Amino acid sequence: MNENDNGIVISSRVRLARNFEDFVFPSRLDDAGSAKVLEKVENALKNSDEKFGTIKLSDMSDLQAETLKELHMISDDMLRGNKNGAVVVNKTNDICIMVNEEDHLREQCILRGNKLSHAYKKISAIDDMIASSEKIAFDKRLGYLTACPTNVGTGLRASALMFLPGLGMTNSLEKCVNAASRFDMAVRGEYGEGSNSSGYLYQISNQKTLGVSEEEIISSVASAVEQIEQSEILARKALVESNEVMLRDGIMRAYGILTSAYRLPFKEFEEKYALVKLGIYYGYISCNDFNAFESLLDKYRPANMMTHAKKIMNDSERDIYRAANAAAELKQLTAKV
């Protein structure tokens, strides 16, 4: 694994909050109004080069909804929202627009790796397309008007999902959170405020949305991400220098469990998976397809795993299924060095 593909920045996400001028915001919108909002979004995207599909919340099974939630494609707020809540997605699933969530539109682009700027360009093009066919709520002074005034201005939230075991294990994350907050950045757990991160996954995002241009936001988050990435690399160096024997032993034990256990609850899978990923970074474990390895974490999340397996399982069945299948895949993708 080289430094450009060190797996530290897992994904980049850019989200734009938008509302249609002619409709009241979703919390006050009736069913007919929210159905109309959805129709307008679909019409606006009809002439796009990309094909989009709509999944309405009311047509989704619980499993589908949970699967999309695990992939950050829909939010908790959306699941609690009105019956015309929907997600409009492209074929590659990297652009997804939540409709009738807190705002009429939450347009987002999620790309693997460190690609904030690219993600912004993609979603901004979609945003322009929608704005050219519908009047967007906008004020010259305050910018894009949103249901919660904390998002006014650009309505842009840029975030990177980062894998930070080095900073986590050396107890250096607090320093990181401190430094980031001085630059109006927030560091949160993977699924937002209060979510735990047993897999050392953290989201870094901007807090300020007004008085800064979109380009400034993207470049400041990208620069914070780069700083944190460099700190993570240093922390990993310090970690191995402080006690390599213990570290390597911990990693190889985790690898042993992932490839041999009979049952694996997701939390344990996530913890051991993080150590194995670190083992690949240090070269203790070889990996013949790092992208495939990276996709395992999402694949074995409870809802995603059942969707892949095409069957509903109880907790115990899931844990046994995860252990057997993850082990088989890991044995194909990786080997002890």
Partner 1 sequence: MADQKMCDECGIRPAVYYETNIINGIMTERYLCEECKKKHGTIKPNLSDIFDNFFTALTTPFGSYKNTQRVENKVCPKCGCTTESYLKTGFLGCSECYKTFEPLILNSVTKIQKDVKHTGKSPDKTCSPDEAKYNELLRKRNEAVAVEDFLLAAKINEEMNKLKGDAK
Which one, 9 or 176, has the nearer CB to partner 1? 176
CA angle, residues 6, 12, 15, in degrees to nearest 5: 170
Q: For residue 110, what is the enclosing H or E element?
A: strand 105-112
Contacts of 143 (CB under 8 A, 6+ apart): 152, 153, 154, 155, 210
| Closest CB 1 distance from partner 1, rounded Å | 27
Residue span 25-44 as binding mask against partner 1, x where in contact by CB under 8 A, dash where not: x-xx----------------
Pair 190, 197: CB distance under 8 Å: yes
Q: Which stretch binds partner 1 (CB under 8 A): 62-70, 78-86, 126-134, 299-307?
A: 126-134
Between the CA of residue 115 and those of 98, 112, 121, 160, 218, what are the distances in Å?
A: 21, 7, 10, 9, 10
Window 186-225: residues binding partner 1 (CB under 8 A): 186, 188, 193-194, 207-216, 219
What 3-state DSSP class applies to 257? helix
Q: Is residue 147 near partner 1 by the rule CB under 8 A?
A: yes
Which one, 87 or 147, has the nearer CB to partner 1? 147
Which one, 68 or 185, has the nearer CB to partner 1? 185
- Among positions 6, 63, 138, 172, the unique one binding partner 1 when judged by CB under 8 A: 138
Taken as a whole, the chain contains a residue count of 337
What CA–CA distance (Å, rounded) separates 105 from 89?
13
Pair 95, 73: CB distance under 8 Å: no
- Rg of the chain over Cα atoms, rounded to whole angstroms, equals 21
Residue span 80-119 as binding mask against partner 1, x where in contact by CB under 8 A, dash where not: ----------------------x-----------------
Which one, 43 or 260, has the nearer CB to partner 1? 43
Question: Binders of partner 1: how many residues, by CB under 8 A?
Answer: 50
Contacts of 139 (CB under 8 A, 6+ apart): 145
Which one, 227 or 325, has the nearer CB to partner 1? 227
Residue span 153-192 as binding mask against partner 1, x where in contact by CB under 8 A, dash where not: xx-x-----------------x--xx--x----x-x----
CA angle, residues 276, 281, 282, in degrees to nearest 5: 95
Give the footprint of partner 1 on this chain (CB under 8 A). 19, 21, 23-25, 27-28, 102, 124, 128, 131-132, 135-145, 147-150, 152-154, 156, 174, 177-178, 181, 186, 188, 193-194, 207-216, 219
